[in-house]
Amino acid sequence: MSAPSRRRLLPAAAAALVALVTALVALAVPAAPAQAAAAPYVALGDSYSSGVGTRTYFDSTCKRSNAAYPRLIANARGYALNFQACSGATVSTVTNNQLAALTTGTEYVTLSVGGNDAGFADVLTECAMPGWASNCSGAVTTARNYINNTLPGRLSTLYSSIRTKAPNAVVVIVGYPRIFMGEDCNAGTWFSPSEMTSLNGTADLLNSKLAAAASARGFKFANPTTRFTGHAVCDSTEWINGLSNPVAESYHPNTLGHSSGYTPLVSPLLVG
């Protein structure tokens, strides 16, 4: 007897069989989960945000540091950081040079600004000199007058611009710590106890205006006063540099100030 004949599948039937097998394989193998895009985070502000005081910079012009809190937070949370903060920034330079980074897709914003507007570096320089050679009280009074009378309006305008450019973003305004703990242990400076108290009070006043302007716009405020208590200049563990070489590093948070001070303060607010 002859062998039984083998049936050949018609082309259409073969194609249907291949499609069926492919579909069954696809059902058996789960698809890889889609990767969410990193949330856009824009860090605005001055030297307290750029990282001056950490002594290591990837941008020598603006003194931006990978040890600064914006970078530490972005790395920990997986945010896509647009690092705009720049040493010496004022309300005006933030407005003119940094706000262009904001878009309707920006999800998170941090900002520290106001200290340079009030001339805080000049006030510190004046008060660091011996009493007979300086007018610390006059410098402090001038700074406080500016903080009370001029800065609030400028902050309001700036915060309004931020909200317009980034309407859906969580915005955290970051304040300034008290620098002194009541004792000046640095050779080359002559801060008296009363001057240090006055300077700390000026930082408190600045924070109060920042907090009020933030609240009025619906922004969050990160007040570092309590967080930095026990870690001021001349404390046993300084999170803020005293008089330093180079002098530009002086009276700014060091690496611990950013990693142990600002990062755990700001990070929990930079969500939502």
| pLDDT more than 70, % of the chain | 87
CA dist 179 and 261 (Å) reads 13
pLDDT of res. 34: 55
Please check the confidence at residue 30 and state whether its pLDDT lies above 70: no
Tell me which H or E stretch contains 153.
helix 151-165
- Residues 196-217: tens digit of each pLDDT: 999 999 999 999 999 999 999 9
Please check the confidence at residue 22 and state whether its pLDDT lies above 60: no
Q: Catalytic residue among 50, 112, 231, 252, which?
A: 252
Strand, helix or coil at 244?
Answer: coil
CA dist 72 and 65 (Å) reads 10
CA dist 267 and 269 (Å) reads 5
Q: Which amino acid is at 242?
A: G
Residues 6 or more apart from 148 whose CB is under 8 A from it?
Answer: 205, 209
Which two tokens mark 225? 């006063």
Q: Catalytic residue among 47, 49, 50, 112, which?
A: 47
pLDDT of res. 166: 98
Domain boundaries, the chain: 37-269
Q: Regarding beta strands 80-83 and 108-112, do their DSSP bridges make them parallel or antiparallel, or are they unpaired? A: unpaired
- Residues 143-196: tens digit of each pLDDT: 999 999 999 999 999 999 999 999 999 999 999 999 999 999 999 999 999 999
Tell me which H or E stretch contains 213.
helix 193-217
| pLDDT more than 90, % of the chain | 86
- To the query of whether residue 252 is one of the catalytic residues in this protein, the response is yes
The whole-chain average pLDDT of the chain stands at 91
Please check the confidence at residue 104 and state whether its pLDDT lies above 90: yes
CA dist 178 and 148 (Å) reads 18
Mean pLDDT for the stretch of residues 71-76: 98
CATH class of 37-269: alpha beta
- Model pTM? 0.87
